[in-house]
A and B are shown apart, each in its own frame.
Chain A
Amino acid sequence: MIEVKQVEKRFGRKKVLNGMSFTANKGEITCLIGINGSGKTTVLNAIMNLTPIKRGEILISGKPLTKETYEKIAFIPDAITMMPSMTIQQAMDFMNDFYTTWNQGRATEILNFFKLSSKDKIATLSKGNTAKVNMLLGLALDVDYLLMDEPFSGIDIFSREQIAAVFTSHLVENRGVLITTHEISDIEHLIDKAVLIENGKVLTEFNAEEMREEKGKSVVDVMREVYQP
């Protein structure tokens, strides 16, 4: 479980995380929903220890992030972080050199699943294919938790469908996925849990199926109530 507890973070005077708390379970897909500027990316950065936090605590499987727990968690940022001049093969080799958890067998499988060619240069890829390579580089790590920042934004519908198919496959089986988005409609049926945030705070968190069962409300219904009272 990833536990975010009362986390505070400022950029200058602006509080970007204002006592944010939520949990993301292993074996589940948790979705952080909020408009731009609500603190989604910042909290992912904070979980990965890429940005210092002022107050609060973040635990991965009950422990704070250490050298060992870094091996249990992977972050897929919204833009690819590889050199554009690299081929997909070189990017995979690069990952293999730096991460002991790199699983080339799985990487090859994902490569085929997305119909990508390892000889292609990253700079020459379409936006959709760049996003797929970005996903590949994170998914091929043998980690317990995957954080994904806006994997669907700015991508055509078929690429979105292909990426969404990853979530129903064994590629994320038994792992914990924490994903951010501001457009839920694509993945409403895929997520286990929704966490609605605004101004660096959690407004509500709920299990999507329970919400349908107990209140007859869709995730979008709850969003309407919460964001447009």
Chain B
Amino acid sequence: MPEIFNQREPVYLQVVRHFKEKIAAGELRPGEEMPSRRELAGNLGINPNTVQRAYKRMEEENLLYTEGNMPSKITEDTNVLTQVRHELMLDAVETFIAAVKPIGVSLEELQTKVEEQFLLEDVQTGGEKND
């Protein structure tokens, strides 16, 4: 089914992030084959040229590699993989900080809140982990 995309952000960057998340979460294993560009365009309901661009970007960032006419594969370079995790984390933290800054909360207060909420979420999602 087509995923809901943000209309204002370049679709190709959204596709790149989608794959980074899957890689960081371990849903896509190093060396795993990527779907063909055409297949992915069909699944996501987006323009094949956009998918092409997303793949190109991921190749530039060394997330993917392609040998000859073979399907693209996820990199096996562990450095790149850890980097992706860091990058996603940093992104999320930056967004979070930008969102709480205007409220004027202290770091201590935040830390306790984050810890509390993090554990709570863990309990909640832990129970329904069937997917």
Chain A positions near chain B (C-beta within 8 angstroms):
27-29, 161, 164-165, 167-170, 173, 188-192, 209, 212-213, 216-221
Contacts and interface: CB of A to CB of B under 8 A. Distances in A.
A170 to B, nearest CB: 6
Interface stretch (B9-17, B65-73, B102-110, B112-120): B9-17
A218 B45 contact: no
A217 B7 CA distance: 8
Contact of B9 (A27, A165, A216, A220): A216
Contact of A189 (B8, B11, B13, B42): B11
A164 B42 contact: no
B48 interface: yes
Nearest to A190: B47
B49 interface: yes
Nearest to A214: B10
Contacts of B10: 209, 212-213
19 contacts: A27-B49, A28-B49, A29-B47, A167-B47, A168-B41, A168-B47, A173-B38, A189-B2, A191-B47, A192-B47, A192-B49, A209-B10, A209-B12, A209-B50, A212-B11, A213-B10, A213-B13, A218-B7, A220-B7
Contacts of A191: 47
Given A173-B38, A188-B7, A189-B50, A168 B12 contact: no
Contacts of A218: 7-8
A184 B59 CA distance: 31
Contacts of A29: 47
A213 B53 CA distance: 13
A95 to B, nearest CB: 26
A189 B38 contact: no
A221 B41 CA distance: 24
Interface of B: 2, 5, 7-13, 38, 41-42, 45-50, 53
A165 B50 contact: no
Contacts of B53: 209
A74 B48 CA distance: 22
B45 A165 contact: yes
B130 to A, nearest CB: 28
> Which among A27, A29, A188, A189 has the greatest number of chain B C-beta atoms within 10 A?
A189
Given A28-B49, A170-B38, A212-B8, 5 more contacts: A168-B41, A169-B42, A173-B38, A173-B48, A220-B7
B38 A190 contact: no
A217 B9 CA distance: 8
B78 to A, nearest CB: 31
